[in-house]
Amino acid sequence: WENGGWVFATATGGPLNPNTDYHQWKDLLAAAGLRDARLHDARHTAATVLLILGVPERTVMAIMGWSSTGMARRYQHVTDTIRHTVAKQVDGLLWESTDGPGEASPEVN
């Protein structure tokens, strides 16, 4: 065992090869049948999924390890799904409906 004081170490205690996570990431993508993507892209995806789920910003910051709300603005992306959901919510507030929010059409008098 090599005690080098590393936080992340090999099975023998030595330093990790900086390319290890890169190669493991590429192997995971291939095994899952997914398109090639950068490991860093996964951070954007995770942050955006948390936004879609409506997780409060402070909680997102804690999960992602951010100390600045600016990081949320950088990593979270407003998707068409989010825009559509908001539009349906606004529609439900503007027009009366027996079908529930987002299902109504305006009445013509």
Reported as a single tens digit per residue, the pLDDT across 56-104 is 999 999 999 999 999 999 999 999 989 998 999 899 888 866 555 555 4
Q: Which domain holds residue 8?
A: 1-37
Q: Identify whether 108 is part of a domain.
A: no
Contacts 24+ apart (CB under 8 A), 66-69: none
Q: Identify whether 97 is part of a domain.
A: no
Structure-model confidence comparison of residues 87 and 18, the more confident one: 87
Rounded to whole angstroms, the maximal C-alpha distance in the chain is 82
Q: Are residues 87 and 46 in the same domain?
A: yes
Return d(Cα 101, Cα 63) in angstroms, integer.
Answer: 32
- Rg (Cα) of the chain, in Å, rounded? 22
Average pLDDT for 27-49? 94
Structure-model confidence comparison of residues 36 and 96, the more confident one: 36
Is residue 13 within 8 Å of residue 22, measured between CB atoms? no
> b vs e for 10-30, b when ≥16 Cβ sit within 10 Å of the residue's Cβ?
eeeeeeeeeeeeeeebeeeee
Give the per-residue pLDDT at 109: 38
- 7 falls in which pLDDT band (50, 70, 90)? confident
Average pLDDT for 3-13? 87
The percentage of the chain sitting over the pLDDT mark of 90, rounded to a whole number, equals: 55
Q: Identify whether 73 is part of a domain.
A: yes
Question: Is residue 108's pLDDT more than 50?
Answer: no
Q: Are residues 55 and 83 in the same domain?
A: yes
Q: Are residues 73 and 45 in the same domain?
A: yes
Q: In the chain, how many domains are there?
A: 2
Give the per-residue pLDDT at 95: 80
Other CB atoms within 10 Å distance of the CB of residue 4: 10
Q: Are residues 1 and 24 in the same domain?
A: yes
